[in-house]
Structure 1
Amino acid sequence: MTTAADTLREGAFQPVKSAGRTLDVLEALADGTGPRSLVELTRALGIPKSSLHGILRTMMKRGWVEADATGTRFGLGVRALQVGAAYLETDTVTGLLSGVLDQLASEFGETVHLGRLDGPHVVYLAKRESIHPLRLYSAIGRHLPAHATALGKVLLAERADEAVDRLLHWPLAALTGRTITDPDTLHAELATIRSRGYAVDREENTDGIVCFAMAVPLQSPATDAISLSIPASRLAATTEDRVVVALNATLAQVRAARPLLPTP
């Protein structure tokens, strides 16, 4: 029997223009740049100002969008927070991995992330803060280019190079002077990750921060990964080996807990 979800995946439908525009507005307001004016949104999205004004008013009435005190700049409303929180609360993997994230954070005292591949990006689903004043700034829900993070690279390495090339947006953006942007260099990096089983971001996302990540073995190819982010100034000669041992031990626990997940 063909379900509605099957039909959507097969592309056998015509997108609803108004719904698409509404989602475009939500995604634009969620990109982390802060409140946007009507003119800015019109330019960014290519939606006529009159149509955009009606969409914004409707979204404000439903609590998805809020205006500032001047009424000229718009940001996400509390309804978006409620839906985002509901996603995390009902996500089986996030709940399953909560304990191992706590364990890693306790052992190292450094920032720990759970990330999920989302197209050419990786999005933070959960985090545990470092105990140190000097730490990586991050926020749950934040999107980063997959090619510039340990989380993203280890998940890209789960896929063939051809699939990676189709997934990413070329040319690749450089977040720091160390970000890998050359296709051949990236392919070689992914081959190394596949061979050794973990990824390292050596200040490719943020200057001064080194990250180590392994994919979560709950499905193949993996869609989730766990990372530890450590300021380069706190790295010792044995840090990488210690982190790899800890991540391997953590993921062994995850494999043991796999039967707890519902069958897709």
Structure 2
Amino acid sequence: MIIIQNTEQSFHIVNMIIATTRKKSQQFVNKMEKENKNSLVPALQKAIQILNFLSEQTQPISAAEVSKLLNLPRSSVHNLLHTMLDNGVVQKNENQQFMLGTKILQWANALVAEQDMISKFYQAIKQFPELEPYTLTLSTLNQDQVIYLACKNSSLPLGITFKIGMHFPAIFTATGKAILSTFTDAQLAPLLENLPAPFTDTGVTSIEQIQQEMSQIRKQGYAIDNGQLRKGMYCYGIALPNKFGTAKFGLAASLLEYEAQDQAVVDQLLTALKQLAEELKPTIFTQSN
């Protein structure tokens, strides 16, 4: 994890997060309020309003002042502040005054770390012309889903154009399989409780199949999506484990099925993909400090 070095940088990043969150959350709030007038979404809106207000303060402030300056009911402000206090989103000093909490900095660090990895990915792939013919992706795991953070699509007719933010069940993707292979059985179990229906006839359909794949990936050091995401497309994935051995990110290269039948092509691809992973290793290790 990247450590934020000073207060000025912290507030800058916090403000960036809250500004982004406020915009996205407002869209969500507007939609949900139309769908359900009795929902708890107004409380979320007030919480974001309070957080945004706290981020603009140069010193801690009392709940009463927050209520007065934002023209919000005292009871609502009190309840929201103490809920956020319990979760580390805000903190309170000895004078019962509130300020942003350490959880915000954790979110900021996570955002910076992710952005840093994306930047390093785009820089690093330029060093590997042998990977130019293939679609390259950088992914992360969110519960049982793989989310694509960065993509370099090739001109090959794969049937899928990968886009940032796109997500699929991890068990069907090369990066998802690779990342999951770094987990213990205990960490894997809750992610495999409700298996999704396969996309193709090669998709895994049982925990036993997944366990066999995990074992094979750990032995060979890479994962294969043999048309499980899209018929006619093969993907090779490599996990990017931190110094503790667990991966948050994964790399993949995608090509057409007929190309994957040429072992020389696959060997060259895997060699370059592993070298790309090595280029990104210092960034991973920095984040896990």
Relative to the length of structure 1, the TM-score reads 0.64
- Write the distance in 2 (CA, Å) between the matches of 1:164 and 1:260: 23
Q: Does 1:212 align with 2:236?
A: yes
The corresponding residue for 1:253 is 279
Report the AA paired with residue 226 of structure 2: R
Task: Work out whether residues 242 and 288 of structure 2, in 8 Å CA contact, stay in contact via their aligned partners in 1.
Answer: no
SS of equivalent to 1:173: coil
* 1:118-149 superposed Cα distances (whole Å, 9 cap, x missing partner): 11111000010103355532211111101010
- Write the distance in 2 (CA, Å) between the matches of 1:160 and 1:133: 36
The corresponding residue for 1:188 is 212
1:103 deviates by 3.8
Larger Rg over CA atoms? 2
The corresponding residue for 1:166 is 190
1:229 alignment partner, one of 249, 254, 272: 254
Shift in CA distance, 138/51, structure 1 to aligned 2, threshold 3 Å: farther
1:172 deviates by 3.2
Deviates more, 1:101-110 or 1:150-159: 101-110
Report the AA paired with residue 246 of structure 1: A
1:115 alignment partner, one of 113, 134, 139: 139
- Write the distance in 2 (CA, Å) between the matches of 1:118 and 1:246: 27
1:178 alignment partner, one of 174, 178, 202: 202
Report the AA paired with residue 185 of structure 1: Q
RMSD, aligned α-carbons: 3.5
Identity %: 22
Report the AA paired with residue 241 of structure 1: D
- Write the distance in 2 (CA, Å) between the matches of 1:231 and 1:212: 11
1:185 deviates by 1.1
SS of equivalent to 1:216: strand
Q: Which structure has the higher relative contact order (CA within 8 Å, separation 6+)?
A: 2
Task: Work out whether residues 112 and 127 of structure 1, in 8 Å CA contact, stay in contact via their aligned partners in 2.
Answer: yes
1:242 alignment partner, one of 245, 248, 268: 268
Shift in CA distance, 260/48, structure 1 to aligned 2, threshold 3 Å: closer
Q: Does 1:102 align with 2:126?
A: yes
Task: Work out whether residues 214 and 226 of structure 1, in 8 Å CA contact, stay in contact via their aligned partners in 2.
Answer: yes
Alignment of 1:1-264 (within 5 A): 26=28, 49-51=36-38, 87=111, 91-104=115-128, 107-134=131-158, 136-219=160-243, 220-237=245-262, 238-255=264-281, 257-258=282-283, 261=286, 264=289
- Write the distance in 2 (CA, Å) between the matches of 1:140 and 1:88: 17
Report the AA paired with residue 193 of structure 1: I
Deviates more, 1:187-196 or 1:126-135: 126-135
Deviates more, 1:185-194 or 1:237-246: 237-246
Q: Which runs of 5+ in 2 are unaligned?
A: 1-23, 50-109
SS of equivalent to 2:250: strand
Report the AA paired with residue 261 of structure 1: T
SS of equivalent to 2:255: strand
- Write the distance in 1 (CA, Å) between the matches of 2:142 and 2:278: 25
- Write the distance in 2 (CA, Å) between the matches of 1:161 and 1:206: 27
Q: Which runs of 5+ in 1 are unaligned?
A: 1-21, 30-37, 63-85
**Which has a greater percent of helix?**
2
